[in-house]
């Protein structure tokens, strides 16, 4: 009862804040009782104007860390909130007032189990960046190495668990009482959000992501990841080398430093392409605040709390689909979707091909620098809902990351299309991984795997035969009754028994193999 009252009190505060920022406008059409929406608006004077998405972003900022992160999560779900609101939420700034330096020192000492003076020659009390989950301080290690130290906010885990519990309760309530919300799967949305945030709140996992990304680009002079100091890293503390560079969106500063902007754009496109297609592991939060250009022109990334993975079948799907669109082969695009199982087999291939053409023709009819593959994917995901294509979260995250990368490229040079620059990479990857030789190699590898599995299958058959011989496999009485049904003198019965036993042996062998 007390828990419910607390939830209701928190909901009242949330509703009042949303109403103050005009973020409840239109909700009376979503299935909520109009009187409830009117009441919330009546007792909360409006303090913000702008588009609905801008007002919602302002309300989330006022509501604090959990809502800021939730708004960022919704920014990749245009299928839920629409393009305009998703775009406005993508500009949601994850910035909060920093917590005191004394508290930061206490966290370091408690997590690492040593006095801060034994770990660092110096530790700046003033944070250089402060977000909803963590903040960053500069320091110098006892060995004299400049580092950046990222620390979780005090009490942030409890605050998030409280709000996630509330989000889940509201989502379950909505699914039960507002039927039209069920297709949006609000409970699944909240659970996915909760899982993502919990991963972000273990900085050892972020350190592992940084280490993996660095390993993938070892020896590449165009991309660097700060080295993790594992001796000064724990669940609530992450220490990495301090990076030096110009934020990638500071165009004039880059020009003054002598950097070739077209080369920077091409480099960024190649890096993102290699992350997605070569490695299947990509930085999913590549906004300008997380990307810097070093003195030698290399791009340096920071903040690895949000990463995406794309398995080989999905990479093949993406490559085939993109090349189909780039070549104007919409039948091939449709075929890719059906082969991948993204669109149910019962849907019309012809109608889906027509829908792909309707999406692509207006986009590819523009000037080259105006073409956005990210927006192409976004429209494709919207249209596929008509054809009962289930939401693919990994593709939504990828599409959002592509949109951010395109934005970075356009800030540097509005007349250059980074995907056009990266097209030779796409084509080379297609030849290597999707061409005739690659497919032949794939068939050969599958054949070898089957041949290598034959000894194990024979061994399992032997085990199955031994089990049958020792009575280890028993038939159900109903099966025995079925076998004995009919004339006792039937000549085919022994052969039937042999077939049943042989089939049972094979079945057991296959089960053992699994």
| Burial of 327 from C-beta contacts in 10 A (0-12 / 13-18 / 19+) | exposed
330: three-class secondary structure by DSSP: helix
**What is the reported pLDDT for 29?**
43
Smallest Cα–Cα separation from 155: which of 93, 230, 66?
66
List the alpha helices (DSSP H) in 201-285: 203-216, 251-256, 261-273
Provide the residue-wise pLDDT of the chain in tens; the chain has 514 residues: 677 777 777 777 787 788 778 776 654 444 445 555 555 555 555 556 678 888 888 888 888 888 888 888 777 676 667 778 877 887 776 778 899 999 999 999 999 999 999 999 999 999 999 988 899 999 999 999 999 999 999 988 888 888 888 888 888 887 887 776 676 677 887 888 888 888 889 999 999 999 999 999 999 999 999 999 999 999 999 999 999 999 998 999 999 999 999 899 989 988 998 999 899 999 988 888 899 999 999 999 999 988 989 898 888 888 888 888 878 899 998 998 888 888 888 889 999 899 989 988 888 777 766 777 777 887 787 777 678 776 666 677 787 788 888 888 888 888 877 777 767 777 777 777 766 666 666 666 667 766 766 677 667 766 766 665 665 555 556 555 654 555 454 454 554 444 544 555 444 444 444 5
Please state, in angstroms and rounded to a whole number, the distance separating the CA atoms of residues 214 and 209.
Answer: 9
The CA distances from residue 196 to 267, 305, 362, 482, 511, in Å, are 29, 9, 35, 54, 36
The CA distances from residue 450 to 20, 144, 434, 506, in Å, are 64, 56, 22, 16
First to last CA, the chain: 49
Among 222, 285, 303, 320, the active-site one is 285
95: three-class secondary structure by DSSP: coil
- By DSSP bridging, strand 307-309 and strand 299-301 are unpaired
**What is the reported pLDDT for 125?**
95
The answer to whether the Cα torsion of 88, 90, 91, 97 is positive or negative is positive
Smallest Cα–Cα separation from 220: which of 287, 284, 294, 285?
294
Please state, in angstroms and rounded to a whole number, the distance separating the CA atoms of residues 272 and 284.
Answer: 10
Which pTM was predicted? 0.74
**What is the reported pLDDT for 510?**
47
Q: Which residues pair with 299 in a beta bridge?
A: 223, 293
Domains in the chain: ranges and CATH: 2-94 (no CATH), 95-158+199-242 (3.30.200.20), 247-434 (no CATH), 453-513 (no CATH)
Tell me if residue 106 is catalytic.
no
Please state, in angstroms and rounded to a whole number, the distance separating the CA atoms of residues 216 and 274.
Answer: 9
Query: Token pair for residue 438?
Result: 């690659």
Render pLDDT for 426-442 as a digit per residue (tens, 0 to 9): 777 777 776 666 666 66
The alpha carbon of 191 is separated from its chain's Cα centroid by a whole number of angstroms, namely 14
Please state, in angstroms and rounded to a whole number, the distance separating the CA atoms of residues 142 and 133.
Answer: 27
Q: What is the mean pLDDT of the chain?
A: 80
Render pLDDT for 363-376 as a digit per residue (tens, 0 to 9): 877 776 677 777 78
CB 167 within 8 A of CB 190: yes
């Amino acid at each position: 009862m007390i828990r419910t009252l607390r939830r209701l009190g928190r909901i009242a505060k949330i509703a009042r804040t949303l109403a103050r920022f005009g973020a409840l406008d239109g909700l009376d059409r979503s299935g909520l009782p109009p009187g409830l929406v009117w009441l919330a608006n009546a007792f909360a004077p409006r303090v913000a104007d702008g588009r609905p998405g801008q007002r919602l972003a302002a309300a989330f900022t006022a509501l604090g860390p959990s809502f800021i992160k939730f708004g960022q999560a919704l920014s990749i779900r245009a299928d839920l909130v629409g393009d305009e609101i998703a775009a406005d939420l993508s500009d949601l700034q994850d910035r909060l007032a920093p917590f005191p330096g004394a508290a930061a020192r206490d966290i370091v000492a408690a997590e690492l189990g040593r006095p801060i003076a034994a770990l660092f020659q110096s530790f700046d009390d003033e944070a250089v960046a402060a977000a909803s989950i963590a903040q960053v301080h500069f320091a110098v290690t006892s060995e004299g190495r400049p580092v950046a130290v990222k620390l979780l906010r005090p009490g942030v885990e409890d605050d998030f668990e409280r709000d996630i519990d509330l989000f889940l309760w509201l989502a379950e309530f909505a699914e039960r009482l507002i039927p039209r919300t069920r297709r949006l799967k609000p409970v699944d949305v909240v659970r996915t959000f909760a899982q993502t945030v919990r991963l972000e709140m273990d900085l050892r996992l972020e350190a592992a992501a940084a280490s993996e990304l660095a390993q993938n680009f070892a020896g590449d002079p165009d991309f660097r990841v700060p080295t993790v100091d594992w001796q000064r890293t724990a669940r609530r503390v992450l220490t990495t080398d301090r990076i030096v560079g110009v934020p990638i969106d500071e165009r004039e500063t880059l020009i003054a430093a002598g950097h070739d902007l077209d080369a920077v754009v091409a480099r960024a496109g190649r890096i993102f392409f290699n992350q997605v297609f070569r490695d299947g592991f990509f930085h999913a939060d590549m906004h300008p605040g997380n990307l810097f250009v070093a003195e030698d022109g290399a791009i340096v990334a920071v903040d690895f709390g949000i990463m995406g993975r794309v398995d080989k079948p999905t990479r093949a799907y993406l490559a085939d689909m993109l090349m189909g669109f780039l070549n104007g082969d919409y039948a091939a695009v449709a075929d890719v979707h059906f082969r991948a199982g993204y669109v149910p087999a019962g849907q019309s291939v012809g109608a889906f091909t027509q829908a792909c053409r309707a999406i692509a023709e207006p986009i590819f009819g523009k000037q080259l620098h105006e073409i956005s593959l990210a927006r192409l994917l976004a429209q494709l995901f919207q249209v596929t809902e008509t054809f009962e294509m289930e939401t693919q979260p990994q593709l939504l995250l990828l599409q959002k990351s592509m949109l951010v990368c395109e934005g970075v490229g356009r800030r540097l040079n509005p007349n250059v299309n980074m995907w056009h620059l990266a097209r030779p990479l796409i084509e080379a990857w297609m030849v290597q991984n999707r061409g005739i030789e690659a497919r032949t190699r794939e068939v050969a590898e599958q054949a070898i795997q089957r041949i290598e599995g034959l000894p194990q299958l024979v061994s399992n058959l032997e085990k199955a035969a031994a089990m049958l011989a020792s009575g280890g496999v028993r038939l159900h009485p109903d099966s025995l009754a079925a076998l004995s049904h009919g004339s006792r003198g039937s000549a085919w019965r022994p052969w039937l028994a042999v077939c049943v036993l042989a089939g049972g042996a094979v079945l057991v062998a296959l089960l053992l193999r699994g």
